[in-house]
Amino acid sequence: MKKTAVITGGSRGIGYGCAKALGLDGYNVAILDINAEADYRENLDELTGLGIDWYYMQGSTVIREDRERFVENVVEKYGGIDVLVNNAGVAPKVRQDILEMTEESFDYVVSNNTKGTMFMTQAVVLQMLKQPVKGLRRGVIINISSSSVTTSSTNRAEYCVSKAGITALTMVYADRLAAEDIQVYEIRPGVIDTDMTKVVHKKYSDLIEQGVFPIARWGTPDDIGGAVSAFCTDKFIYSTGNYIDLDGGFHIKKL
């Protein structure tokens, strides 16, 4: 039986790169996304053209009923869940200095990025625990955080906080689930060319030209998808709670 991968926020950008990579690896792909299916028909049609079996549901990781219904639908369609990629997330609607940040903005970002990851993982893990171990493990969870975990952005502090929370969730879930044969990993993207980064495209393009990024180019959703694909193999079977920076070397400290 084919394995099934769940990707949140998989209609576009990084999530779509992950969905495509895992689909090409032979997984059924199930996407939960706040966007309407019709809005990204071109991407979904590409999955079909690549021979990938996919399921799509419009919904939010923040809403319990959406999470529960999505898991139920995926299990009914495919029989189980083997991989979860927690990718769904948001940026602040308005970038503001930390001294001007509103509670509404903090709640919006942290709820979507951290709370959504926390409870989507819980819902999927409870399903995984009902399933037998396949091969060397029962399941894989991959959390998409950000280089903002360790880089200060004082005009979007709520985003940094929300992504740091994902790092903590990676650690705690990895600890809790190791004995259940479920491994948990984290990917920290840098500047990835997506709709979310269009508003700051010139800023980061200038930084790339200035040599801030040792690998002097924008990252792509396919770069992230490749790492997700690798984590889902058995090549990392003796590791859990680990993270990888996919940031063009931005994390390297320079004198």
- The mean pLDDT value for 149-167 works out to 97
Q: Do 55 and 28 contact (CB within 8 A), yes or no? A: yes
CA nearest neighbour of 101 among 153, 156, 151: 156
pLDDT of the residue at 199: 73
Q: What is the pTM of this model?
A: 0.95
Alpha-carbon distances, residue 103 vs 8, 62, 90, 99 (angstroms):
25, 17, 16, 11
CB atoms within 10 A of CB 136: 10
pLDDT of the residue at 204: 79
CA nearest neighbour of 30 among 13, 50, 11, 49: 11
The more confidently predicted of residues 207 and 155 is 155
- The mean pLDDT value for 59-70 works out to 98
Structure tokens at 211: 């040599």
CB atoms within 10 A of CB 93: 11
The more confidently predicted of residues 200 and 1 is 1
- The mean pLDDT value for 202-221 works out to 88
Element holding 187 (H helix, E strand):
strand 182-189
pLDDT of the residue at 1: 79
For the chain, what is the mean pLDDT? 95
Alpha-carbon distances, residue 19 vs 5, 35, 60 (angstroms):
8, 15, 17
Q: How many percent of the chain have pLDDT more than 70?
A: 100
Q: Which residues contact 31 (CB under 8 A, 6 or more apart)?
A: 6, 7, 8, 10, 11, 15, 19, 54, 55, 56, 57
Catalytic residues: 159
Residue 169 has pLDDT above 90, yes or no: yes
User: What is the fold of 4-246?
Assistant: Rossmann fold (3.40.50)
pLDDT of the residue at 255: 74
- The mean pLDDT value for 213-232 works out to 95
Residue 206 has pLDDT above 90, yes or no: no
Distance in angstroms (rounded) separating the CA atoms of residues 178 and 57: 30
Residue 140 has pLDDT above 90, yes or no: yes
Domain residue ranges in the chain: 4-246
pLDDT of the residue at 4: 98
Residue 65 has pLDDT above 80, yes or no: yes
Distance in angstroms (rounded) separating the CA atoms of residues 17 and 151: 24
Tens of pLDDT, residues 3-59: 999 999 999 999 999 999 999 999 999 999 999 999 999 999 999 999 999 999 999
CB atoms within 10 A of CB 243: 16
pLDDT of the residue at 205: 87
Tens of pLDDT, residues 71-113: 999 999 999 999 999 999 999 999 999 999 999 999 999 999 9
Residue 115 has pLDDT above 80, yes or no: yes
pLDDT of the residue at 164: 98
Helix (H, G, I), strand (E, B) or coil at 219: strand
N- to C-terminal Cα separation, the chain: 52
- The mean pLDDT value for 112-116 works out to 98
CB atoms within 10 A of CB 2: 11
Distance in angstroms (rounded) separating the CA atoms of residues 189 and 224: 7
pLDDT of the residue at 193: 84
Residues belonging to the chain: 255
pLDDT of the residue at 136: 93
Distance in angstroms (rounded) separating the CA atoms of residues 177 and 59: 26
